[in-house]
Structure 1
Amino acid sequence: MQGRATAPAAGTVLNALATGVGAAFAIDADTTASVALDVHAGDAGATDGDDRISGSVAGAPDADTALVERCVELAVERWGADAGVDPATTGGEVTTESDVPMAAGLKSSSAAANATVLATASALGVDPDPLDACRLGVQAARDAGVTVTGAFDDASASMLGGLTRTDNRRDELLAHDDVEWDVLVWTPPERAYSADADVDRCERVAPMAVLVDELADAGAYGSAMTVNGLAFTAALDFDPSPIVDALPDATGASLSGTGPSYVAVFDPDASDDHATDGADDIDAVAARWRDRDGDCWRTTTRSDGARIL
């Protein structure tokens, strides 16, 4: 019983750490998961899937695989009966490979979780509702301790494509919009883990997060991103100058997630104060960002989300 699926990464419009409400958008960088299930992996009385499910990350033999292993376990528990298999005896292997740098603020965990849940569903021969599958991956992320809020904003953007606004306290989708932007990403050499973020300091910028949400609700995504970036670089002790360097050429720029990556978006049809004129603007920002250590790369938004292969 085998399945494969892929899911895109995402960038941040609104960090949910301050209020529980967040917004994110899918970008064209994928994580792919391959799952092989064994219905005879455990004894009939087994309840703990840890010794029956093993995970690996291509090119990163020391990577923590607790999240994807938990995704397989929860997916088998949810849909195993529909496939005629016993979750208590079913185990397997999951392998992920990714274009998305880990612990970089680009939602690599959400993409891996979505891809793994869908790959497991494919191995079981079921076609789940996308948001149900997304919530299953969010639960796995909470169980694995890789998220503070549950990251339903990041996960829903990755699962559905486009831009999503969510209430992560209730795993509720508030809005889903299609955006067509060119995207510039700068990832410095260091890494940051979402679970290590200083939540108390983030909660202090809640008034700014409320403003960001109001801007996003009104469709002023670029301005929302920029306000978010300036607020959360202060709260999380990151340098705001990459955001300043992106303005006024970019439609919007922000720290992505809890860092360390920064994202800038370019929309020639934007209606807010930072509308751009085309490729020259991307080149200008890229030239500034490439003066910094790390990787600077271009991509685009994605209107399609996670999918079974």
Structure 2
Amino acid sequence: MHGRASALGAGTVLNALATGVGSAFAIDAETRASIELDDSGTVRGEVAEDPDADTRLVERCVEHCVERFGDGEGGVVRTESDVPMAAGLKSSSAAANATVLATLSALGVEVVDGEGDDPLGDADERDEPVVTRLNACRMGVEAARDAGVTVTGAFDDASASMLGGVTVTDNREDELLVRDEVGWNVLVWTPPERAYSADADAERCTRVASVAETVADLALAGRYAEAMTVNGFAFSAALGFSAEPAIEALPDAAGVSLSGTGPSVVAVGGAEALDGVRKRWDKRPGETLLTETRTDGARIHD
């Protein structure tokens, strides 16, 4: 019983820490998961990039799937990723989504494309268990809460990673409010330091709730690039990051924001405009990555 799947990293439009409403967009950077199930009853995780990494999240994802659709199986789940960990680019959401899809595939559970909200295992009234991608995403979100790697559950990040495009969500209810498609070039600057979502000062973020509500209004109106710029300045201040990288990106970029709880900064727009931003960001310590948005989302591999 084995399965393989991949899921996407993402950038931030609106950080959900202030109000529970968040928004993110998928980028062309993947995390891949493979699993082999056995009758050991024990799940063990491995991360290719870091043998000492905390694997509780992917292990809990497998356990959730087995509890729902399996028969006490254990096994080994391995992940490898183009998405740097603890950099604000949704590495945890991508790992959770890829692991859930790989495990469902190994268990013989069909995953239905689309955003439908059918109850788990009851889609289309079929004889075999069927899960919509949105509910597979929710399984990973619940595992992330169990593992303690997220404050909000990160349904905004996870939904963008799973469905592709840009999503706006209410993380308090794990509700998808909007799913839309964008076609941006994306420039990412990631400094050498790392920041873990679970360590973010949520109380400070609530102080910018009124700004976050304005950002949500912009995002719900489809003004995603403007929304992310306002979000970036507000949450850089709340989380203690410099706004200088964002200043350097403007006015060339259509939008720029601190991604997640940092430390990465993402800028979106046309390729030529972002080339000028990259020349400035390349002078900073760390790494820059030029990529693009993706609309296809996570997928299972044969």
Q: Fold match, TM over 0.5?
A: yes
Partner of 1:5: 5
For residues 232-281 of structure 1, give each alpha carbon's deviation from its aligned partner in whole angstroms, at most 9, with x where no partner exists: 00000000011111111001000000000000000xxxxxxxxxxx4331
Partner of 2:184: 181
For residues 45-72 of structure 1, give each alpha carbon's deviation from its aligned partner in whole angstroms, at most 9, with x where no partner exists: xxxxxxx000000031010000000000
Q: Does 1:151 align with 2:141?
A: no
Residue 78 of structure 1, CA deviation = 1.3
Partner of 1:125: 108
Residue 153 of structure 1, CA deviation = 0.1
Name the count of aligned residue pairs: 281
Partner of 2:297: 305
1:210 is aligned, of 193, 210, 213, to: 213
Partner of 1:48: none
Partner of 1:111: 94
Structure 2 gaps, min length 5: 111-130
- Structure 1 segments (4+ residues) deviating >3 Å: none
1:240 is aligned, of 223, 243, 258, to: 243
Map 1:134-145 to 2 at 5 A: 134-145=137-148
- Pair member with larger Rg: 1
Whole-Å separation in 1 of the counterparts to 2:227 and 2:49 = 36
Contact 2:49 2:81 in 1 (8 A): no
Partner of 1:200: 203
Whole-Å separation in 1 of the counterparts to 2:229 and 2:99 = 32
Whole-Å separation in 1 of the counterparts to 2:292 and 2:193 = 24
Which amino acid in structure 2 is aligned with residue 7 of structure 1? A
Q: Does 1:57 align with 2:56?
A: no
Residue 41 of structure 1, CA deviation = 1.0
Whole-Å separation in 2 of the counterparts to 1:206 and 1:120 = 38
Structure 1 gaps, min length 5: 43-51, 81-85, 267-277
Map 1:158-307 to 2 at 5 A: 158-266=161-269, 278-307=270-299
Partner of 1:274: none
Contact 2:10 2:27 in 1 (8 A): yes
Which amino acid in structure 2 is aligned with residue 288 of structure 1? R
Which amino acid in structure 2 is aligned with residue 294 of structure 1? G
Q: What is the Cα-based RMSD across aligned positions, in Å?
A: 0.7
3-state SS of paired residue (2:194): coil
Which amino acid in structure 2 is aligned with residue 6 of structure 1? S
Partner of 1:79: 69
Residue 307 of structure 1, CA deviation = 0.5
Residue 126 of structure 1, CA deviation = 0.9
For residues 13-68 of structure 1, give each alpha carbon's deviation from its aligned partner in whole angstroms, at most 9, with x where no partner exists: 00000000000000000000001001x214xxxxxxxxx00000003101000000
Map 1:26-37 to 2 at 5 A: 26-37=26-37
Whole-Å separation in 2 of the counterparts to 1:29 and 1:286 = 18
3-state SS of paired residue (1:11): strand
Whole-Å separation in 1 of the counterparts to 2:68 and 2:140 = 12
Which amino acid in structure 2 is aligned with residue 53 of structure 1? V
Same amino acid, percent of matched pairs:
70
Whole-Å separation in 1 of the counterparts to 2:264 and 2:279 = 16
Report the TM-score when normalising by structure 2.
Answer: 0.92
Whole-Å separation in 2 of the counterparts to 1:3 and 1:104 = 27
Partner of 1:70: 60
Whole-Å separation in 1 of the counterparts to 2:221 and 2:250 = 21
Residue 125 of structure 1, CA deviation = 1.0
Partner of 1:93: 76
Report the TM-score when normalising by structure 1.
Answer: 0.90
For residues 112-153 of structure 1, give each alpha carbon's deviation from its aligned partner in whole angstroms, at most 9, with x where no partner exists: 000000000010111121011000000000000000000000
